[in-house]
Amino acid sequence: MSNISNLDIMITVFSIIYLYFATQNKAICFLFGLIASAIWAYHDFVNLNLKFDGFLQLFYVAMSIWGLYSWKYGGKGKKELPISRMTAIDHVVSILGGIVVGAGIAWLTMNILETALPYLDAVTTALAIITTIMLVLRKLENWLYWIVIDLVYIYIFIRQGAPLLAGVMGLYGFLAIYGYIEWRRLINNTEA
């Protein structure tokens, strides 16, 4: 087991603050998400050899900028974007798309990049990208997808000797459950 680094601690603190504000449906979450993701990307590329997760973290930086704007001005008439639900077709496209794209990326890049757990890393990354878009679009079900993704990331980070990041993923899983309950309460209040 490796030592916990200062980067692990910074990632953990900013990530928890980000996720807490996201569960509370507060747009400020994206500022903390941007900081956490920038540090995490550096850590992935330089220390953990998780290329796909590193690229995912860079994607999160961009999504944080879009998310902040979208939540504030993405609704009708440039007003706040409301929480909404996904359709069954949205779920099928999201799941199949994530699996197919992730497996394809892993297969194509296995001989180009040296990366740990190429298929698991790539498929989880593809699904996390899709789920992040769900979050930015304020889809209630994003939290259910995060629960599954976080469980897989616990395994990945334990395998790569990053126990604190695995712990962050465990906490993310619990906060995703809380986020789903909280957002479902909010959407039920607006639908009533």
Residues 6+ apart with CB under 8 A from 83: 25, 138, 139, 140, 183, 186, 187, 190
pLDDT at 1: 43
Residue 1 lies in a domain: no
Residue 82 lies in a domain: no
30/73 Cα distance (integer angstroms)? 14
Residue 112 lies in a domain: yes
Position 9 pLDDT exceeds 80: yes
Residue 168 lies in a domain: yes
Please give the sequence-ordered ranges of beta strands (E in DSSP) within 5-147, or none if there are none. Answer: none
Residue 135 lies in a domain: yes
192 pLDDT band, cuts 50/70/90, is low
Number of domains in the chain: 1
189/181 Cα distance (integer angstroms)? 12
Residue 111 is encoded by which pair of tokens?
Answer: 């001989």
pLDDT at 153: 93
Position 146 pLDDT exceeds 70: yes
Higher pLDDT, 140 or 51: 140
pLDDT at 177: 97
Position 4 pLDDT exceeds 80: no
* Mean residue pLDDT across the chain: 90
177/19 Cα distance (integer angstroms)? 11
Residue 180 lies in a domain: yes
Residue 81 lies in a domain: no
pLDDT at 182: 96
* Alpha-carbon torsion (76, 80, 84, 89), positive or negative: positive
Residues 6+ apart with CB under 8 A from 184: 140
pLDDT at 3: 67
Residue 14's Cβ-side half-sphere holds a number of Cα atoms within 13 Å equal to: 18
What torsion, rounded to 10 degrees, do the Cα atoms 143, 83, 29, 134 define? 50
Position 112 pLDDT exceeds 80: no
- Measured CA to CA in angstroms, residue 57 lies from 11, 45, 54, 165 at distances of 11, 10, 5, 13
Lowest mean pLDDT, pick from 24-33, 54-63, 106-115: 106-115
Higher pLDDT, 180 or 110: 180
Range of the domain at 95: 6-74+87-191
Residue 59 lies in a domain: yes
Position 7 pLDDT exceeds 50: yes
120/137 Cα distance (integer angstroms)? 26
